[in-house]
Amino acid sequence: MPQSRIVRDFIEKVCEQVKAQRSHGIISNELLTHIEDQKIKYMNEEFMSEYAAEERAVDEMGDPVTVGEQFNKIHRSKYNMVELTGKIVMWSIAGGLTLFSIIFGIGIAWSMLASHPQDYIAAFLVFFGIAFFGTFIAFAFVSICKAIGTVLFYSGLVKDYKKRKKRGELYGQYKHN
């Protein structure tokens, strides 16, 4: 369906406020559908011209910056920088622990072989034991970090829910001034 300049400008202004660009198409379609529905309603019920009905429908949508800011709260990027940085640090530490245990295991096994060359099986078992234990510790660390992250995420959701409930913003029912 072709868009007039007033509708296109409104939708572009709303989308400028939304950081998650992957959501712009969804938001554009949602706004366009709503504006078209209102326009048809005004044309049928109040016998307005198409241009006047469209202009009124856009006006009733509100300030495009405010609407865009509300959409931005809903359509957030998949990762924020704090979460991404946390994951990079967590996996770097886990990789470092694993690498350290492998190098440490090689060092112990090498020193065992240097002093007792006939005990190559014991040196081999010591190496794999240390490497396995270090890897186990590294992935236990990752699991603990994920658990802590999950608790923090859900506690943030609870706080956000309480704030939104207090402001009356739940279920899309925003307070209008």
Whether residue 124 is predicted with pLDDT greater than 50 in this model: the reply is yes
Q: Is the pTM of this model over 0.75?
A: no
Last residue of a domain, one of 74, 94, 111: 74
- Could you tell me if 55 and 86 lie in one domain? no
- Could you tell me if 62 and 126 lie in one domain? no
Domain that holds residue 117: 81-170
Question: What are the distances in angstroms from CA 96 to CA 59, 86, 115, 144?
Answer: 58, 15, 29, 16
Question: Residue 53 and residue 35: Cα distance in Å, rounded?
Answer: 9
- Could you tell me if 52 and 99 lie in one domain? no
Question: Residue 78 and residue 72: Cα distance in Å, rounded?
Answer: 12
Q: Is residue 176 part of a domain?
A: no
- Could you tell me if 66 and 94 lie in one domain? no
pLDDT of 56 reads 92
- pLDDT tens sequence across 73-102: 887 766 567 777 888 888 898 888 888 888
